[in-house]
Structure 1
Amino acid sequence: MSALPNDVGANAEPLLTIEHLSVRFGETLAVDDVALSIGRGERVALVGESGSGKTVTALAILRLLSDARISGAIRLDGEDLLAKSERAMRGLRGSDIAMIFQEPMTALNPLYTIGEQIAETIVLHDGVAKKEAYERAARLLERTGIPEPRRRLFSYPHQLSGGQRQRVMIAMALACRPRLLLADEPTTALDVTIRGQIVELLRELQRDEASKPGGGMSVLLITHDLNLVRRFAQRVAVMEKGRLVETGSVEQIFSAPEHPYTQRLIASRPERNVLPVLPIAPVLLEAKDVSVDFATKLPGFTGWWRRGRFRAVDDASVSVRQGETLGIVGESGSGKSTLAMAMLGLQRTAGGAIEFQGRLIASYQGRDKLGLRSHLQVVFQDPFSSLSPRQTIERIVGEGLALHRPDLSGEERRKRIVSVLREVGLDRTVLQRYPHEFSGGQRQRIAIARTLVLEPRVIVLDEPTSALDVSIQQQVLRLLTDLQRKYNLGYVFISHDLEVIGAMAHRVAVMQNGAIVETGDVTRIFDEPAHPYTRKLLKAAFDR
């Protein structure tokens, strides 16, 4: 029995009560006899590794698990949600209970503008006119930290950065001021300053609602960001393998965790273990005064659209030496990923020059350009969407070899694939399996193997650990450090997690509105930041 007492915060009458909840998918028991209560206006964090049952528990509350067998009781204000009809649940979803999903790109409809999607929620549940719904949508976008909110109403999801899409999801969830907010990794794709804004926004909404009948909005926060838990939650519930193993106040869990699993989670922090860069290490990749522009549509005075230009990167200069990690930090939309893609030769530039080992990338043509691709590789933020679901692991990892090393026989290629999988902690038994059969951490290892198999000189790591829980994050960072030591790799490490940057980077470039405002040794930047924006980022990350 993993059922623990339904303890709620002091003076907090239960809004949600979960009793003996079990969820099965076929013969697999995903959630095992969980009991938990959330008080009115209370903030509870549900933490645990990937696959521990956190998200399944939240989806069970909303009755969004069509292929699962659910037993037990889930009561909202004393009414059992498991006994309600589907029609009754549709009335509750969005208005009384709302959810912020982890991956906004799959949760947002790519065919509708942001304004249409937020306004639809408001019109459906509140019955207001469309014009008023758009006004409320613009205010919500502004409150969640999106710049130029009225212009963004007419943007499509693919036109926003990952962090901006997540803020849109948060705005949609808050549109009807629900009594219970289920937040599944709501700040995973957000930079530290916006993360702080969202935390304050949720608290502000709770204060606004506290004086109304029924009390303030309750929040169930699902996250692997322990810093966020410490700053936001009042109580913590810890899940392991579908079972609730420990609950308690934030102070109790962080200062004196009792369960061995909780102790291991609390201890999982990034550790700095990088070698210094040799003074004679050559520069592998360099950007000199690089600018990147995007075409954009702007509303004209007569209501017609006119074309404009948006400068995403403005005269940026950075370099990466052999065996060095360059960390690039900044808020979402600051130009981090755009600069990195330009350095890889995957994004057209409006000015400046990019060199690989002293030669202009623009000068590479034909087979030379193909060879360049093998030396410059990238690991993306979301390993699930970057790995083809229709291909086996052998084909995914070996695809680059088939293109760049056609001289290898099938047997030689397989030996190379097995060898590189072993380097990232996987064995040959995974060759004929598919991406969906692996956890998030394992998929990221496969993505790293896919780049490593070509023996690159530089790897761009675009938020490679943001979607991973803390213990798996620690493993992946250790793996990246070991690989850099062994192969003398140069890394361009993009992240909004400054704790990770502090553990991995030798030098840091800080970007704001497309420009690099400060660059230097990581220790100097973190200890003595010169630019006000850098100080703002560090304060938001470490509460300095």
Structure 2
Amino acid sequence: MSATVQNHASQVPAPPLLELDHLQVRFGETVAVNDVTLAIQRGERVALVGESGSGKSVTALSILRLLNDAQVSGSIRFDGKDLLASSEREMRGLRGSDIAMIFQEPMTALNPLYTVGDQIAETIVVHDGVTANEARKRAVALLARTGIAEPGKRVNSYPHQLSGGQRQRAMIAMALACRPRLLLADEPTTALDVTIRAQIVELLLELQRDEASKRGMAVLLITHDLNLVRHFAQRIAVMERGVLVESGPVERVFEAPQHPYTQRLLASRPQRTVVPVLPISPVLLEAREVSVDFRTKLPGFRGWFRSGRFRAVAQADVSVRQGETLGIVGESGSGKSTLAMALLGLQRTAHGEIEFQGRPLGTYRGAEQTALRSNMQVVFQDPFSSLSPRQTIERIVGEGLALHRPQMTSQARRDKVISVLREVGLDRTVLYRYPHEFSGGQRQRIAIARALVLEPRVLILDEPTSALDVSIQQQVLKLLAGLQQKYNLGFVFISHDLAVIGAMAHRVAVMQNGCIVESGEIEKIFANPSHPYTRKLLKAALDP
């Protein structure tokens, strides 16, 4: 009888590591998350997907009790412990040690006053109690494991000295520093190129397989990257407007989605809608043999430093014709964004020449330079840091109109702002709100609206869809393609998402270590790449 009892006991399933029971999160009268019930087992990988504003990030933040001015009800249990009833001191002991989080926007999550190495080492010292020297060694090793080149040097870098992808990897290293039992990953690969994304996915899988830890790390992955979900997660949960509408094994949900919203989400794929560029189309923007250098400090002796130079872009030749999209791809730190800033005239060049409509940028002065700015607009990679937190959305989007079209009445300006917001999927109710009140994807749409409101001739888009879920991404890409065809706009489209580049670009330039290693028509490059690095990128995109 004792053997029977023992066998029966062994068949009793282990309690979940994390259990959400009828979770509801309210901000005043607004219900952001409504009646969500979800369990995550030890060592399990669960993906939480849905459109921007659906409540995914709010759900994750409520687990760590990081929501201000929110009324949270229901139950959140971690390893049997009621987190909603825990004291703040108990929560501080859990955060970073047992439960860690990778935030969506690394620039705002990292402290700008400390090096990334200091920030990673601090987490290790506080929770593991090791010496500062040992913590620093582990910080260097973590940066290396997340794919950062020269980790011994980058450990001394401040957040602003790293590219968007490098900052994201540094934050991942910080989250993994103490081997948490539960990792909340809010868009962990948003700013990463396809090759580094594959490394991060393999790293997370490797940590789960690490028998030495004996902790069975579970992962709640919040993402809009359905390809990543298919390759990483075991179960998927789909949220719409704060409600969990469908959940189940990844294979079953992808092959036979039951809810109409899940069906629409899975059907959203970038569709190629570009039209051929006429041979007689004039060149709007051209760069010839452009190089960009940054001054660096080299160690000397007796406390002195020597000045050195780092070449971020070397001998780049690019051009954009009217109605054409030039795609620029490459790994983080390859020089894509630096080249874009040089094209805008916002970054000094060491060599070469850049022309807009056949005229060198350096010859524009006074009113002509002001007009040039209105004709060349940019959407930056990080929407939160590029939007003023002290201005309403109406003022942010309409600021360019106030500067470049002062003759417009306030009502005409407001109507124009409302119109462009509607084009990017937002309505007039957002006019008097502030950037912090929106999700990452919604902020990206506001940044796109701000750039489009002046109807520029050339639009430089630095990862414009990186923070968008697939359905909104499809809408934005369709919007951009429609505007390009309507106004004959020239686009410089920077992205690590080769599917997006394939849908939008006429030509593509592939950058590695500051050099353009291959360029040409998009169909020819994707079908028959000649450079080994291009082949590596395409392989990683198809098989992450």
TM-score, scaled relative to structure 2: 0.93
Counterpart for residue 128 of structure 1: 130
Tell me, in whole angstroms, the C-alpha distance in 2 between the residues paired with 1:232 and 1:310: 37
**Could you tell me which amino acid in structure 2 is paired with residue 20 of structure 1?**
H
Aligned-pair distance for 1:416?
4.9
Partner-residue secondary structure (3-state), 1:274: coil
Counterpart for residue 5 of structure 1: none
- Tell me the alpha carbon deviations over residues 248-295 of structure 1, each in whole angstroms, 9 at most, x when there is no partner: 111111111111111111111111111111111111100101000111
Q: Does 1:457 align with 2:451?
A: no
**Could you tell me which amino acid in structure 2 is paired with residue 207 of structure 1?**
R
1:199-214 aligned at under 5 Å gives the runs 199-208=201-210, 210=211, 212-213=213-214
- Tell me the alpha carbon deviations over residues 443-480 of structure 1, each in whole angstroms, 9 at most, x when there is no partner: 44443343333332111011111111111111111110
C-alpha contact (below 8 Å) 1:170/1:186 kept by paired residues? yes
Aligned-pair distance for 1:406?
3.7
Aligned-pair distance for 1:62?
1.3
- Tell me the alpha carbon deviations over residues 20-55 of structure 1, each in whole angstroms, 9 at most, x when there is no partner: 222222222222222222122111111111121111
Counterpart for residue 85 of structure 1: 87
Tell me, in whole angstroms, the C-alpha distance in 2 between the residues paired with 1:254 and 1:311: 45
Counterpart for residue 533 of structure 1: 533
- Tell me the alpha carbon deviations over residues 172-202 of structure 1, each in whole angstroms, 9 at most, x when there is no partner: 0011111111111111011111111000111
1:252-267 aligned at under 5 Å gives the runs 252-267=252-267
Tell me, in whole angstroms, the C-alpha distance in 1 between the residues paired with 2:188 and 2:445: 24
- Tell me the alpha carbon deviations over residues 324-377 of structure 1, each in whole angstroms, 9 at most, x when there is no partner: 000000011111011011011111000011011111111222222222112111
Counterpart for residue 14 of structure 1: 16
2:119 to 113, 117, 121: 117
Aligned-pair distance for 1:138?
0.3
Counterpart for residue 59 of structure 1: 61
Partner-residue secondary structure (3-state), 1:14: coil
**Could you tell me which amino acid in structure 2 is paired with residue 178 of structure 1?**
P
Distance verdict in 2 for CA 1:220–1:12, change over 3 Å: farther
Counterpart for residue 499 of structure 1: 499
Counterpart for residue 153 of structure 1: 155
1:479-494 aligned at under 5 Å gives the runs 479-494=479-494
Tell me, in whole angstroms, the C-alpha distance in 1 between the residues paired with 2:268 and 2:514: 33
**Could you tell me which amino acid in structure 2 is paired with residue 267 of structure 1?**
A
Counterpart for residue 244 of structure 1: 244
Aligned-pair distance for 1:71?
2.2
**Could you tell me which amino acid in structure 1 is paired with residue 472 of structure 2?**
I
Distance verdict in 2 for CA 1:306–1:67, change over 3 Å: same
Tell me, in whole angstroms, the C-alpha distance in 1 between the residues paired with 2:356 and 2:67: 50
Distance verdict in 2 for CA 1:145–1:304, change over 3 Å: farther
Distance verdict in 2 for CA 1:245–1:481, change over 3 Å: same
Partner-residue secondary structure (3-state), 1:46: strand
Tell me, in whole angstroms, the C-alpha distance in 2 between the residues paired with 1:211 and 1:431: 53
Tell which deviates more after alignment, 242-251 or 426-435: 426-435
C-alpha contact (below 8 Å) 2:52/2:442 kept by paired residues? no
Tell me, in whole angstroms, the C-alpha distance in 2 between the residues paired with 1:302 and 1:187: 42
Aligned-pair distance for 1:316?
0.6
Tell which deviates more after alignment, 14-23 or 165-174: 14-23
Counterpart for residue 306 of structure 2: 306
- Tell me the alpha carbon deviations over residues 48-88 of structure 1, each in whole angstroms, 9 at most, x when there is no partner: 11121111111121122242222222222222222222111
Distance verdict in 2 for CA 1:42–1:150, change over 3 Å: same
Tell me, in whole angstroms, the C-alpha distance in 1 between the residues paired with 2:14 and 2:535: 38
Aligned-pair distance for 1:118?
0.7
Partner-residue secondary structure (3-state), 2:17: strand
Counterpart for residue 108 of structure 2: 106
Aligned-pair distance for 1:431?
4.9
- Tell me the alpha carbon deviations over residues 484-506 of structure 1, each in whole angstroms, 9 at most, x when there is no partner: 01000000001111111010000
Counterpart for residue 448 of structure 2: 448
Tell me, in whole angstroms, the C-alpha distance in 1 between the residues paired with 2:123 and 2:437: 35
Tell me, in whole angstroms, the C-alpha distance in 1 between the residues paired with 2:427 and 2:71: 34
Tell me, in whole angstroms, the C-alpha distance in 1 between the residues paired with 2:129 and 2:259: 48
Tell me, in whole angstroms, the C-alpha distance in 2 between the residues paired with 1:412 and 1:65: 38
**Could you tell me which amino acid in structure 2 is paired with residue 69 of structure 1?**
Q
Tell which deviates more after alignment, 320-329 or 38-47: 38-47
Counterpart for residue 290 of structure 1: 290
Tell which deviates more after alignment, 230-239 or 322-331: 230-239
Counterpart for residue 4 of structure 2: none
Tell me, in whole angstroms, the C-alpha distance in 2 between the residues paired with 1:392 and 1:66: 20
Counterpart for residue 398 of structure 2: 398
Tell me, in whole angstroms, the C-alpha distance in 2 between the residues paired with 1:71 and 1:375: 50
Distance verdict in 2 for CA 1:38–1:320, change over 3 Å: same
- Structure 1 gaps of 5+ residues are 1-9
Aligned-pair distance for 1:390?
3.0
C-alpha contact (below 8 Å) 2:52/2:440 kept by paired residues? yes
**Could you tell me which amino acid in structure 2 is paired with residue 314 of structure 1?**
A
TM-score, scaled relative to structure 1: 0.93
Tell me, in whole angstroms, the C-alpha distance in 2 between the residues paired with 1:61 and 1:389: 26
Q: Does 1:368 align with 2:386?
A: no
Partner-residue secondary structure (3-state), 1:52: coil
Q: How many residue pairs end up in the alignment?
A: 533
Counterpart for residue 326 of structure 2: 326
Tell which deviates more after alignment, 450-459 or 290-299: 450-459
Tell me, in whole angstroms, the C-alpha distance in 2 between the residues paired with 1:198 and 1:426: 33
Tell me, in whole angstroms, the C-alpha distance in 2 between the residues paired with 1:12 and 1:351: 64
Tell me, in whole angstroms, the C-alpha distance in 1 between the residues paired with 2:429 and 2:59: 31
C-alpha contact (below 8 Å) 1:441/1:476 kept by paired residues? no
CA RMSD of aligned residues (A): 2.2
Aligned-pair distance for 1:113?
1.0
Distance verdict in 2 for CA 1:438–1:220, change over 3 Å: closer
Counterpart for residue 510 of structure 1: 510
Tell me, in whole angstroms, the C-alpha distance in 1 between the residues paired with 2:286 and 2:46: 46
Tell me, in whole angstroms, the C-alpha distance in 1 between the residues paired with 2:15 and 2:522: 47
C-alpha contact (below 8 Å) 2:292/2:348 kept by paired residues? yes
Q: Does 1:353 align with 2:345?
A: no
Counterpart for residue 473 of structure 1: 473
Partner-residue secondary structure (3-state), 2:133: helix
Could you tell me the percent identity over the aligned residues?
A: 78
Partner-residue secondary structure (3-state), 2:239: strand
Distance verdict in 2 for CA 1:436–1:124, change over 3 Å: closer
C-alpha contact (below 8 Å) 1:441/1:473 kept by paired residues? no
Tell me, in whole angstroms, the C-alpha distance in 1 between the residues paired with 2:281 and 2:218: 54
Tell which deviates more after alignment, 355-364 or 429-438: 429-438
- Structure 2 gaps of 5+ residues are 1-11
Counterpart for residue 315 of structure 2: 315
Tell me, in whole angstroms, the C-alpha distance in 2 between the residues paired with 1:294 and 1:155: 15
Tell which deviates more after alignment, 29-38 or 427-436: 427-436
Counterpart for residue 139 of structure 1: 141
C-alpha contact (below 8 Å) 1:342/1:349 kept by paired residues? yes
C-alpha contact (below 8 Å) 2:105/2:382 kept by paired residues? no
Q: Does 1:197 align with 2:177?
A: no
**Could you tell me which amino acid in structure 2 is paired with residue 73 of structure 1?**
S
Tell me, in whole angstroms, the C-alpha distance in 2 between the residues paired with 1:413 and 1:149: 49
Distance verdict in 2 for CA 1:44–1:419, change over 3 Å: closer
Tell which deviates more after alignment, 391-400 or 487-496: 391-400
**Could you tell me which amino acid in structure 1 is paired with residue 247 of structure 2?**
T
Tell me, in whole angstroms, the C-alpha distance in 1 between the residues paired with 2:394 and 2:261: 34
**Could you tell me which amino acid in structure 1 is paired with residue 150 of structure 2?**
E
